[in-house]
Amino acid sequence: MQRQVDTTKGYSDDAAALAQQYERIRFDQLHRDVLPYFPSPPSDVLDIGAGSGRDAAALVRLGHRVVAVEPTAALRREGQRIHASLPIEWIDDALPTLTRVLTQHRVFDLVLLCAVWMHLDRDARAAAMRSVAALLAKGGIVAM
C-alpha cells in the first residue's frame, strides 16, 4: 500500500497572508506562455492545488466552468471567501489519488497544476499522473 505523505504541511499556518501573496500574481502574466494552448471557453477545467483560487477565478471570468481542488482547508476557505461571488466548485481533495474528484466520473478539457508537482516524490508523481490522466477528456490539455 502506498504511503500518503502530507505535502501541504505549513500552508495553513498563515493562509490569509499566503492567499494575499498568490492573489498579487497576475494570472495572465504567470501563464502567458501556455495560455495560447488553453481550450476555448466554455470548457471544463480542473485546477489542482488551487490555493487562493486566483487561477480558478480568472478562468471562470474567461467563461470556463472550474472545479478548484485544494487540500488545505484554511487556504480553501480563503479562496472561497475571496472569490465568493464566482461560480467556482471547491473540492477538498489531494494528489496523488484525487479520490473525491475521481468518484464523480467527470473529465476535464484542461487540468491545471500550478506550483504543485514539486511537492510530490517520484512514486507519488507516477500515481498522480495516472489520476490526472483518468480525469482528462479526449484531446484535453495538462498544464504544469
Q: Mean pLDDT of all residues in the chain?
A: 90
Which whole number is the average pLDDT over 73-92?
Answer: 96
pLDDT grade, residue 3 (50/70/90)?
very low
| E strands present in the chain | 44-48, 65-69, 88-91, 108-113, 136-143
DSSP secondary structure code for residue 88 in this structure: E
> Residue 75 and residue 141: Cα distance in Å, rounded?
26
CA dihedral over 95, 96, 99, 101, signed as positive or negative? positive
Nearest to 142 by CA among 51, 8, 48, 59: 48
Q: For 25-143, CATH number?
A: 3.40.50.150
Q: Are 52 and 24 in contact (CB under 8 A)?
A: no
Q: Give me the pLDDT at residue 76, please.
A: 95
For the stretch 18-61, pLDDT in tens is: 778 877 889 999 999 999 999 999 999 999 999 999 999 999 99
Alpha-carbon distances of 115 from 2, 41, 144, rounded to whole Å: 23, 23, 8
> Residue 70 and residue 8: Cα distance in Å, rounded?
10
Long-range contacts of 103-107 (CB under 8 A, 24+ apart): 106/44, 106/67, 106/135, 107/44, 107/135, 107/136, 107/137, 107/138, 107/140
Q: Give me the pLDDT at residue 8, please.
A: 55
